[in-house]
Amino acid sequence: MKIGIIGLGYVGLPLAVAFAEAGHEVVGLDTDPRKIEALNAGRSYVEDIPDESLAPLGGRLEATSDYERLEPCDAVIVCVPTPLTSSREPDLAYLIEASNALSKVLQKGQLVVLESTTYPGTTRERLLPILEESGMSAGDEFHLAFSPERIDPGRTDYTIRTTPKLVGGVTEACTERARDLYSLICDEVVVLSNPEAAELSKLLENIFRSVNIALVNELSQLCDRLGIDVWEVIDAAATKPFGFMRFDPGPGMGGHCLPVDPFYLAFKARELDFYPEFIELAGKVNRAQPAYCVNLVARALNDAGKAVHDAGVLVLGVSYKNGVGDTRESPALQIIRRLRDLGAEVSYHDPHVAELPEFQLSSVELPTALESADVAAIVTAHPELDYEEVVAKAPLVVDFRGVTREIRAENLVRL
Ligand SMILES: NC(=O)c1ccc[n+]([C@@H]2O[C@H](COP(=O)([O-])OP(=O)(O)OC[C@H]3O[C@@H](n4cnc5c(N)ncnc54)[C@H](O)[C@@H]3O)[C@@H](O)[C@H]2O)c1
């Protein structure tokens, strides 16, 4: 088959590679010329896709910015960003722009699938009318479905092939087409009765995580007051073989999904005069966590007889999760900003993030930076770091990830 993928980012590129690896021809479309140039030169910019995995595709993956190149495709999958506006409302501008461009080149018989995370109703209420501006009708002359992306960057135990894929089309025929498409690269395709159910399933998965992370974040604050080690409590609860699922507290939620997606549903709910309290509350608790963590750094310095002002604070890990270099919505950025506002001299070390241009900072070398800092804050626990060495070399360590919980030391403070 010939597959078009619109948006070659963290979601679109692995998907394009999966189809090309399965022997299909892929036209990858992006508005960022640097991505097109890199891919056509055999260079990847997504950590989960090494350059070596592009070479054997034998020209089956071609990148372009020209929408007309989608005309010969059997199916076109849309993977553009769905962020929030500054007032935390869904920003569908990328989706609308891509849909308008697609509508102008849409061909009879094509299948269009939206993979971008969004609120229930987007495929039918927003995408469908734009595509029908082509003069063709959905379910009849072209097919339309929603299928949420479930990728977890950095994860290797589950792949696109082994993660069940949800599909919901605007008609039964649309669903069937979508099922056939994803059967080419996924072992299991789960059929839903409409796109709205598929859209909401994805949001439920992320809201479930957000609410549970908020619960343990709040528990960590209570444990601090109670003088109980929250990590010991969670480790103990996690020994129950049923009825409990482990979530860990941390410095806050980052990435393109968890801090963003729940607000897509909250927005839709408000339109219907419904106020989903769990979602809003979880967002509020999680968004307050970086400020709480900065207070822990200030308290640790204070206990050591130092002020935050002029203190050398070394942030360990600035990406939003371990093992990846993505800094979108990373709580580390808020922590750095707040520490700077308090007058701290902030530096950082991250094996996955060489530069933080918004702070004019570059990753510093260990172990020298550990010895010269007043405090090291473990914000993102990359597996490459030796945390025993961190505790041994830094004068003071504040751990927001619980990776030092086997270590006993006077200079160590944990969330
Ligand atoms: N990153 C994840 O882990 C993840 C997981 C599941 C779902 N999602 C969802 O998938 C969607 C994409 O996320 P992502 O992380 O891949 O984003 P991304 O920013 O990495 O990639 C999106 C790409 O779309 C391109 N683009 C923007 N407008 C375009 C247009 N009009 N035409 C063509 N290309 C355009 C951008 O240049 C970019 O390369 C979002 O809705 C996100 O919520 C992301």
pLDDT one-digit tens code per residue, 101-156 = 999 999 999 999 999 999 999 999 999 999 999 999 999 999 999 999 998 888 88
Nearest CA to ligand 1 atom 32: 98
293 catalytic, yes or no?
A: no
Going from the Cα of 310 to the center of ligand 1, the distance in angstroms, rounded, reads: 39
Q: Is 50 helix (H, G, I), strand (E, B) or coil?
A: coil
Angle between helices 195-226 and 261-271 (to 10 degrees): 110
CB count, 10 Å around CB of 125? 12
Cβ contacts of residue 114 below 8 Å, gap of 6+?
Answer: 77, 78, 95, 122, 123, 127, 144, 145, 146, 147, 195
Q: List beta partners, residue 26.
A: 3, 61
Q: State in Å: Cα 14 to ligand 1 middle.
A: 11
**Looking at residues 227-238, what average pLDDT do you find?**
97
**What span, in angstroms and rounded, lies between the C-alpha atoms of 382 and 386?**
9
**pLDDT interval class at 338 (50, 70, 90):** very high
Spacing, Cα 116 to ligand 1 middle (Å): 7
C-alpha separations of 105 from 102, 200, 367 in Å = 5, 29, 56
Q: Which residues line ligand 1 (CB under 6 A)?
A: 6-12, 29-32, 35, 79-82, 94, 97-98, 116-117, 149, 151, 153, 256-257
What average pLDDT does the chain have?
A: 96
Please identify which of the residues 73, 79, 257, 293 carries the catalytic annotation.
257
Q: What is the pLDDT of residues 51-108, one digit of tens each?
A: 999 988 888 999 999 999 999 999 999 999 999 998 889 999 999 999 999 999 999 9
